[in-house]
Structure 1
Amino acid sequence: MTLPSWRDNQLGTMKRAALWLVSVVGEGNVFTKEDVKNAFPGISQADRRVRDLRDYGWRIDTHREDGQLGQSEQRFVAQGQPVWVKATKDSSSITETQRRKILTSDGNRCRSCGITPGQAYAGSFETAQIDIARRKVKHNGSSRVELVAECNRCRVGGRGLEADLDTVLDGVSKLGGLQRQMLADWVAADEREFGAVELLWGDFRTLPAESRNKVRAALGLPPA
C-alpha cells in the first residue's frame, strides 16, 4: 500500500510527522529536534505533534529511556497506529491526571531506588528525572502490569524485567541477620539509604586510573 506524502499540508502536522518518521527517519534510527524543525519549517508545534504520536502506540524514545541518546536526540523505535488512516487514541496511554496520581502515591521518588527528582546519583554528576514506567509483576501466579514512578536509570535498566512476589519472599527468607535488618530498615522507611561504603565506591569509580591504583594500594590490592 502506497503511503501518502508527508509533505501534503492538508494532512495536518501530526499525520505528516508520522509519515515523515516512517518514510524519512525509519524505525530504529535517531533524529533530533533540529531535524523536525527543518522538516516542518514555520510550524512551531511540530515537535509536540511528534510526542503526541505516543498516545497512538508509537514508541519514540528519548535519553530518559535510552541512555545512548543525547538530550536533543530521539529514537524512532516502532510505529503505532497509522494515524493518517484513522486516528483512534490508544486507551493504554497515561493521562496527566493519572501521572500526577502515580507520582504522588509513590512519594514523588523512584519506586525502585528511592531517588528524588534532581538528586545526583552517587558518585556522579548525573541527576535523576522521575517519570512513569510500566512494570510487569507476578502475584499469586498471575502476571499484570503496574504503573510506577521510576528514575531514568531504573526505567532503562529494568526494561523487560518482571518482579515476582514468590521470588522476593524466597530471597528474604535466605538473608542473614544483618542483611535482613538492612532490608527491614529500607522497607520501614520506604526509602533506600546509601551507606558510606556504597558512596565511596561511587567516588572511587569516578577517579582516574592513577588515583584508583592509590586506593587499591591503601586496600592492600595490586595495581589494576
Structure 2
Amino acid sequence: MDMPSWTDQKLGTMKRAGLWLVTVVGEGNIFTKEDVKAAFPGISQADRRVRDLRDHGWQIDTNREDASLGQHEQRFVKQGEPVWQPGKGTRPSTAITQTQRREVLSRDGNFCRSCGIAPGEIYAGTYESAQIDIARRVVRQQDGTEKTELVAECNRCRVGGRGAVTDLGEMLRRAEGLSGLDRRMLSVWMDRDRREFSAAERFWADYRTLPGESRAKVRDALKPPAE
C-alpha cells in the first residue's frame, strides 16, 4: 500500500505526525518540539498528537528514557502501527492516567521495584537523583500468553529493562519446588515486602567488601580452634 504524504490536510494530525516521523525525521534520529511546531504551524496540539503515537506501539524517547537527549529533544526510535492506514490508529488510549499512577506508586511502596531506590536518593558514585515513574512490564502468563502490567521503576531501570519479559509461569513452577521452610520464610518477607537479613548474612555482605589481607584475618579468626 502506498504511503500518503504527511502534508495531506485531509488526514488527522496524529496520522500526519506519524508520516512526518517516518519520511522526514527517520528512525533513530532526533527532533524537537520546535521542529514539530515548524512542521505543523497553527496546530496547537501537534506535539500531543506525536505523544499519542506511543499508544499505538511507536517508541519515541525523551531524556527520561535516553539520558543522552537534551531537555527539549526526542528520539524517534521505532515505528509502530501504521496509523494512516484504514482501520488503524483507532484503538482506545492506553495512556497511564494520574489515578493509575497514584495507585501503582502506592501499591509498590513508592520505590523502584527493580533496584530498590527511593525518589530523590542519589545513585551510588554519581550526583544524579532518582526519579520514580511507571513502567510497562510484559509478563508471560502460565498459558504462554503475554500481558502488559504496570510497575514502579526509577529512570535508570526503566531504560535498562526495556524489552524485558517476566516469566510468571517459570516463577510459579519454581515456587512449587520450594521446601516448606523456604515457603514460610518467603511468605513472611512478602507480607512485610521486606527481607530480614540474619546476622551471618549481614556479616557476609560486609566481609565481601574487605581487601584480601583483611579477609584473610577474618577467615583465620572464624576458624574453629584446633583440638
Name the TM-score, length of structure 1 as normaliser.
Answer: 0.65
**Alignment match, 2:127:** 125
Letter in 2 for 1:128: A
Deviates more, 1:29-38 or 1:120-129: 120-129
Letter in 1 for 2:106: T
Provide the rounded CA distance (Å) in 1 between the counterparts of 2:131 and 2:11.
Answer: 35
Compute the RMSD of aligned alpha carbons.
4.1
**1:99 offset after TM fit, Å?**
3.3
Q: Is 1:42 paired with 2:37?
A: no
Query: SS of 2:106's equivalent?
Result: helix
* Cα deviation digits, residues 134-173 of structure 1 (max 9, x gap): 334567796744321111101111223345637987xx99
**1:51 offset after TM fit, Å?**
0.3
Letter in 1 for 2:72: S
**Alignment match, 1:27:** 27
Q: Is 1:154 paired with 2:161?
A: no
Provide the rounded CA distance (Å) in 1 between the counterparts of 2:142 and 2:88.
Answer: 38
Q: For structure 1, which runs of at least 5 residues remain unmatched after alignment?
A: 174-183, 202-218, 220-224
**1:16 offset after TM fit, Å?**
1.5
Name the TM-score, length of structure 2 as normaliser.
Answer: 0.65
Q: Is the 8 A contact 2:17 2:46 kept in 1?
A: yes
**1:17 offset after TM fit, Å?**
0.9
Going from structure 1 to structure 2, the CA distance change for 1:79 and 1:140 (only over 3 Å counts) comes to closer
Aligned residue pair count: 197
Query: SS of 2:113's equivalent?
Result: coil
Q: Is the 8 A contact 1:55 1:89 kept in 2?
A: no
| Match runs of 1:1-224 below 5 Å | 1-85=1-85, 86-90=87-91, 93-96=94-97, 97-137=99-139, 144-145=146-147, 146-163=149-166, 165=171, 188=192, 190=194
Provide the rounded CA distance (Å) in 2 between the counterparts of 1:92 and 1:14.
Answer: 13
User: Quick check: which has more Rg, 1 or 2?
Assistant: 2
**1:7 offset after TM fit, Å?**
1.8
Provide the rounded CA distance (Å) in 2 between the counterparts of 1:93 and 1:32.
Answer: 24
Q: Is the 8 A contact 1:6 1:16 kept in 2?
A: yes
